[in-house]
Amino acid sequence: MPKMKTRRSAAKRFRKTATGKIKRNKAYKTHILNKMSPKRSRQLRKATLISKGDHKRVMRMLPY
Protein backbone atom coordinates (compact mmCIF):
# COMPACT_ATOMS: atom_id res chain seq x y z
CA MET A 1 0.00 0.00 0.00
CA PRO A 2 1.23 3.51 -0.71
CA LYS A 3 1.70 5.95 2.12
CA MET A 4 -1.10 8.33 3.04
CA LYS A 5 -0.32 11.94 2.24
CA THR A 6 -0.69 14.80 4.69
CA ARG A 7 -2.62 17.82 3.46
CA ARG A 8 0.10 20.45 3.60
CA SER A 9 -2.35 23.33 3.93
CA ALA A 10 -3.80 21.71 7.06
CA ALA A 11 -0.36 20.92 8.45
CA LYS A 12 0.51 24.62 8.37
CA ARG A 13 -2.69 25.62 10.18
CA PHE A 14 -3.11 22.96 12.87
CA ARG A 15 -0.90 21.41 15.55
CA LYS A 16 -1.56 18.31 17.61
CA THR A 17 -1.20 18.56 21.37
CA ALA A 18 0.35 15.84 23.52
CA THR A 19 -3.10 14.52 24.45
CA GLY A 20 -4.23 14.27 20.81
CA LYS A 21 -6.33 17.42 20.64
CA ILE A 22 -5.83 19.87 17.79
CA LYS A 23 -4.89 23.53 18.23
CA ARG A 24 -5.58 26.33 15.79
CA ASN A 25 -4.94 30.05 15.64
CA LYS A 26 -7.83 32.48 15.77
CA ALA A 27 -9.00 34.37 12.69
CA TYR A 28 -9.24 38.14 12.02
CA LYS A 29 -5.70 39.02 13.15
CA THR A 30 -4.07 40.00 9.85
CA HIS A 31 -5.08 43.52 8.81
CA ILE A 32 -7.45 46.42 9.54
CA LEU A 33 -6.55 46.14 13.22
CA ASN A 34 -6.79 49.82 14.18
CA LYS A 35 -10.58 49.68 14.52
CA MET A 36 -10.30 46.67 16.82
CA SER A 37 -10.14 47.22 20.56
CA PRO A 38 -6.85 46.33 22.30
CA LYS A 39 -8.66 43.74 24.40
CA ARG A 40 -9.92 41.97 21.29
CA SER A 41 -6.43 42.01 19.72
CA ARG A 42 -4.91 40.42 22.81
CA GLN A 43 -7.56 37.72 22.93
CA LEU A 44 -6.94 36.81 19.29
CA ARG A 45 -3.26 36.10 19.97
CA LYS A 46 -3.95 32.95 21.94
CA ALA A 47 -4.46 29.65 20.17
CA THR A 48 -7.59 27.62 20.82
CA LEU A 49 -8.84 24.09 20.20
CA ILE A 50 -10.87 23.18 17.13
CA SER A 51 -14.56 22.46 17.54
CA LYS A 52 -15.83 18.94 18.11
CA GLY A 53 -17.61 18.92 14.76
CA ASP A 54 -14.39 19.60 12.82
CA HIS A 55 -12.23 17.12 14.71
CA LYS A 56 -12.90 14.10 12.48
CA ARG A 57 -12.34 16.10 9.28
CA VAL A 58 -9.03 17.58 10.45
CA MET A 59 -7.75 14.23 11.72
CA ARG A 60 -8.34 12.79 8.26
CA MET A 61 -6.22 15.57 6.75
CA LEU A 62 -3.40 14.97 9.27
CA PRO A 63 -2.85 11.20 9.34
CA TYR A 64 0.58 11.29 11.04
| CA-CA-CA-CA torsion sign (47, 51, 55, 58) | negative
Identify the DSSP state of 55. Answer: H
Cross-strand pairs, 1: none
pLDDT range class, residue 46, cuts 50, 70, 90 = very high
Task: Give the domains, in start order, of the chain with CATH numbers.
Answer: 8-61 (4.10.410.60)
Report yes or no on whether pTM surpasses 0.85. no
Q: What is the CA radius of gyration of the chain?
A: 15
- Average pLDDT of the chain to the nearest whole number: 95
Cross-strand pairs, 54: none
pLDDT range class, residue 64, cuts 50, 70, 90 = confident
pLDDT confidence of residue 1? 87
Summarize pLDDT for 15-33 with one digit per residue, the tens.
Answer: 999 999 999 999 999 999 9
